[in-house]
Chains A and B, each alone.
Chain A
Amino acid sequence: MIPTQAPAPDGEPVLEVVGAGKTFAGVHALRDVSLSLRPGEVHALIGENGAGKSTLIKVMTGVHRPDTGTVTLAGRTVAFTTPLEAQAAGISTIYQEVNLIPLMSVARNLFLGREPRRFGVVDTRAMNRQAAQILRGYGVESDVSRPLHTLGLGAQQMVALARAVRIDARVVIMDEPTSSLEPREVETLFSVIRDLRSKGVAVVYVSHRLDELYAICDRVTVMRDGAVVHTGELAGLERLKLISLMLGREMSEVRREGATAFAADGHDRQEDQPILEARDLAVRHKVNGVSLSIRPGEVVGLGGLLGSGRSETAKAVVGAIATEGGTVSVAGTAMTRRSPAAAIRAGVVMLAEDRKAEGIIPSLSVRENIVLAALPRLSRGGIVSTARQDEVVTYFMERLGIKASGPEQRVSDLSGGNQQKVLLARWLCMNPKVLLLDEPTRGIDVGAKAEVQSLVDELAREGLGVLLISSELEELIEGSDRVVVLKDGAVVGHLEGDGVTEQALLAALASSGADGADGDVPGADGDVSGADGDASRAEETR
């Protein structure tokens, strides 16, 4: 089931990308990226959102063609135009999302495109027999004639894996293969990877779970902003160093001033009773028993790397995704029904991460976009009061400084920052008690960013409870009174008061998982307390 071929001599790369560049609509997705894969190595590819990992993978698998640079497979320059060509050449890929056909049988999925045939028709019996045999090697014992969707997600991922590996692969690219796997299945995956390695297959392993990288990978390439910032052996590379590389932060270089528009001092908490309290939230494969509380007038930051379950936690709080467990109470009252509508009624609103897909309605005017959610409150007997609408819209446009020619301008004509403010206005006119902000300043210009940031400050000052999710360290550190750090869907750290520093956050992120292999975080405690001191001094000097 796994191709048998002698491992090529060391040093002779099986797949080599040299100087690859790729531009989408003027934006550099890849800049002079080089990657070299040796036979029989497991190569970690890591980086934050937008670092260019996916584009690089797509260049290697024939989905995209690079604008500049070359791809060399076993010494020959190749120019794949379709995924099919890349597969035929021995590069197979397992995507993060299970890319199989849900209503087809398991065996069918495994053999699609290369079914065993007899007399010109598919030999179903032989196919099922072979499929069962192959999948047993991957720990999947289910009836292979059943439709794929009846399998668990992890088992489906195993079918995808078996499918990818079955081709006479020379390179196997795995894009976050463990995101839907149970721990037992991760072990199976690792043994398959080890098997591949011993057969001389090069494996590219993309994951945000550092524990996994250290467990299985030989070398690592770190990408940031479309460029490679580091390539080298993984063993001996500190976790902290790895994270600083990913995030573009040197441990020594902690900028405190001028980066954001948040006021330096914290917010006065008006009460100590939490306005929002979430307990043991669980979302399948994403969130694992996260608890957090927000008090009125407080900004709570939610920190973590990509895929740590930040957005999912926020969505679970407002009931936008199905939860497996956990409770949410608002101002001491437990929410029995969990849906965005119920959350809004209770005074909890969320500004979604993806403005275009989950928020703005581009063809409507500024006025219409603002009052959309508040319409029931602004109307009597189904008749919308224009006067009250105008009042609300004028107030918020002034208050948030929305730059538009007037309330009737189409929202699609506004800049990203002003669109974000319109969305914020939509939620604020609901008189919320708690505001969940998922990447509120992503993709908006510097000026608007500062305005949104000071607005968040101001709202908290007025007594709103705010949950702030941000991938920008400065924004998170300086905007939050407290930071809850997530990793792999679980809370791994709480930063409070003077402890809200970049060092402390990085240390919490670098902490290893539950397996206790924390030898890679040298003196995390010492570092953090030192940072505490630095930070408090910095506060005093301002």
Chain B
Amino acid sequence: MADLNQLHDAVLNGDAKTAKAVTEQALAAGHEPLKLVQDHMMPAMSEVGRRFECNEYFVPELLLAARAMKGSLELLRPLLAAKGNEPVGRVALGTVKGDLHDIGKNLVGAMLEGGGYEVIDLGVNVTPEQFIAAIKDKKANIVAISALLTTTMPAMKTTIDALKAAGVRDQVKIIVGGAPITQTFADEIGADGFSESAAGAVSAARKVCLA
């Protein structure tokens, strides 16, 4: 019999091995995949985000928790899809073209996945064409763009303009973030949302989808 509190704690503590083992046990015992995600894993990641925001957790703890959740999700995702359980949203995530920094992007991906979103991680130095392909081929409904460098910030606008030119801008909400990014800049380039922290990316995604 699987102790589902262990699943919550394994994600919270970044223990991928235990998280995967308990998930397997829970599935064997007939637990609903959706409930495992919604009742145990998402609350754990929510707590991770809270601890990160108040400096109880730092980047290593957050990334390990995300890895633990990801390992379990790999088991659960096919089952969720088979039952018609859609994720909260599909996010095409990437660091903008010209920028090779990934840590901020990875933190945002971790928090979004913990918030129930399916994250399509396009990596770093992502071209507008890659974002467009993710929208068309993988049905992303949110585009999340990261930049660390002031010199690559203009490529965010280039990406948004390319989405318009490709006729897919209206199919998605766009959120932006990164160390030099501000709400003013996000407004100027026509993004729908902005977050100044990784943990805030989840609420930013929710907000733009409700708008």
To the question of whether A and B form a pair in one complex, the answer is: no
Give residues in A with beta carbon < 8 Å to B. none
